[in-house]
Amino acid sequence: MHNAWRGRRVFLTGHTGFKGAWLALWLHQLGAEVTGFALPPPTEPSLFDRARIGELLDHVIGDIRDLDAVTHAMRAARPEVVFHLAAQPLVRLSYDQPVETYATNVMGTVHVLEAARQVGGVEAVVCITTDKCYENREWVWPYRETDPMGGYDPYSSSKGAAELVIAAYRRSYCEAAGIGLASVRAGNVIGGGDWAVDRLVPDLVRAFEAGQAPTIRSPDAVRPWQHVLEALGGYLLIAERLLKGERAFADAWNFGPADEDARPVGWIVERMRAAWGDDAAPPAPWTGAVPHEAGLLKLDTSRARSLLGWRPALPLGEALGWIVDWHRRTAAGDDARTVTVEQIAAYRARAGL
C-alpha cells in the first residue's frame, strides 16, 4: 500500500462526512490526488472542518441526487478510482425522511455508477453500503456476502436496494467496460471525530463532555462494532486489487470485527465510561418511542480473510480507548488533523498496511 496510491487520481463522494473525512486524510497520506464531491458537512462540529480536510483535496460541493452535477465533477477529476461513500446513513432519520433516504442511497448510487461508466478512464469503483443491507432474521449466525438483501426500515432497505443496483451495473455494464466494481459492507463503524446524532458513541461522547447522563435505547442489542480504520483498510485493499485488473475482486465483501467484538450496546456504554474516567455519568433509561431496529447482527468476514488477506487488527476495547484519546486530546487543544494522522499511522503499523 505504501506506493500503490502515489499520484493516483481518486474521486471520493461523501468526503465531508465522518468516514469520508478519515478516508480523504488517509488517501492524502498515501500520496493520492483526491477530488471530493459532497454536500456541506452534516454536523457542527465536523472532522472535515476540524482537520481542515478541504485544504488537502479538490473540494467540490454537490449532491449525488443530481446526475449532471456528479457527471460534470467526475469528468473534470478524470479519476482512475471512485470511492462512493455519500449517503443518508442514519436508521432513525430514515423513518422521518424516507423519500430523501431512498433518493440519496438508491438513485445517488445509480448516478455515481452511471457517471463512472460515461466519463471514461475509470478503472475501479468501490461502493460503500452497510451490514444492514441483509434480510435480518435475528439469528446467531453471521451473514455472508451471498445471503439475501433486505431491510426492515427505510435506511436498511435502501442499502439493500443499492446492492442490487451495484450488482446489475456490474453485470450489465462494468464487466464489459473493464471497470472493476465492488461493494463493501462494514459493521458499526466508530472513531474519533464523529458527531452524528442518534449514533451510540457520538451520543456518549456528547453526554460525557457535557457532564450529563446518556440515555440508552436498546442496551441488549448486539452489533459488529469496529474502528473506522479497520473498514477503510479493507476498502483500500479491494481498490488496489481492482486497479491491478484482478476482476475476481469485483464483487461484494464483508468487513467486520472478530466474533468476540460483536457486543451489546450496554457493554459499549460501560467500557466507554471506564475509558473516559470518573466524570462519565452513568446512563439513564430511554423514555421516548423506540422504532424497530435490529436486535442481533453479525458479519462473516471469512472471505476477506482468506482471499484478500485482511483481518481485524484493533480489538474493540482498544478502539474505544483510541476514541476517548482522540476527543480528550482535541478538547485539550491538540490539532485534530495531527491526532488523526497519528492514529492512521499507528493503525497502519499494526495492520501491516
Q: Closest Cα partner for 38 from 73, 76, 75?
A: 73
Is residue 73 scored above 70 in pLDDT?
A: yes
Matching residue, cell 459532497: 38
* pLDDT > 90? residue 137: no
Q: Are 116 and 51 in contact (CB under 8 A)?
A: no
- According to the model, what pLDDT value does residue 151 have? 87
Of 79, 37, 78, the residue nearest 54 (C-alpha): 37
- pLDDT value, residue 2: 64
Q: How far apart are CA 54 and CA 115, in angstroms?
A: 23
pLDDT in tens, 151-187: 889 999 999 999 999 999 999 999 999 999 999 999 8
Whether 303 shows a pLDDT value over 90: the answer reads yes
C-alpha cell recorded at residue 23: 478516508
Position 104 pLDDT exceeds 70: yes
Compute how many other C-beta atoms are within 10 angstroms of the C-beta atom of residue 178.
10
pLDDT given for residue 221 in this prediction: 87
Q: How confident is the model at residue 209 (pLDDT cuts 50, 70, 90)?
A: very high
Average pLDDT of span 188-198:
94
- The pLDDT, as a whole number, for residue 153 is 93
For 352, phi then psi, to 5°, come to: 70, 30
Report H helices in the chain: 18-30, 47-50, 67-77, 91-96, 98-102, 108-119, 154-169, 175-177, 200-210, 228-243, 265-276, 302-303, 316-331, 336-351
Query: Which H helix or E strand runs over 57?
Result: none
pLDDT > 90: percent of the chain: 84
Edge-first strand listing for the sheet containing 188-190 = 188-190, 222-227, 262-264
> Given a cut of 80, is residue 257 above it in pLDDT?
yes
What is the C-alpha to C-alpha distance for residues 11 and 138, in angstroms, rounded to an integer?
A: 37
Q: What is the pTM of this model?
A: 0.96
Report in angstroms the alpha-carbon separations of 148 from 62, 122, 133, 247: 33, 29, 9, 23
Q: What confidence category does residue 343 fall into, taking pLDDT thresholds of 50, 70 and 90? A: very high
CA distances from 151 to 67, 132, 154, 246, 281 (A): 26, 7, 7, 31, 34
Residue 294 pLDDT level (bands cut at 50, 70, 90) = low
Question: In 10 A of CB 259, how many CB atoms?
Answer: 13
Report the chain's mean pLDDT, rounded to a whole number: 94
332 confidence band (pLDDT: 50, 70, 90): very high
Given this model, what pLDDT does residue 289 score? 67
Residues in contact with 168: Cβ distance below 8 Å, sequence separation at least 6, in sequence order: none
Would you say residue 293 has pLDDT above 90?
no
Across 281-302, b (16+ Cβ under 10 Å) vs e yields eebeeeeeeeeebbebbbbbbe
Is 48:56 a contact under the CB 8 Å cutoff?
no
Q: Which three cell numbers stand for residue 4?
A: 500503490
Res. 90 pLDDT band, cuts 50 70 90: confident
pLDDT in tens, 38-51: 999 999 999 999 99
The order of strands in the sheet holding 180-186 is 58-61, 33-38, 9-13, 81-84, 124-128, 180-186, 252-255
In sequence order, the 6+-apart residues with CB closer than 8 A to the CB of 78 are 9, 119, 121
DSSP structural state of residue 296? B
Torsion over CA: 312, 139, 267, 47 (sign) = positive
Mean pLDDT, to the nearest integer, of 234-255? 97
**Exposed/middle/buried for residue 332 (C-beta within 10 Å: 0-12, 13-18, 19+):** exposed
222-227/188-190 β-pairing: parallel
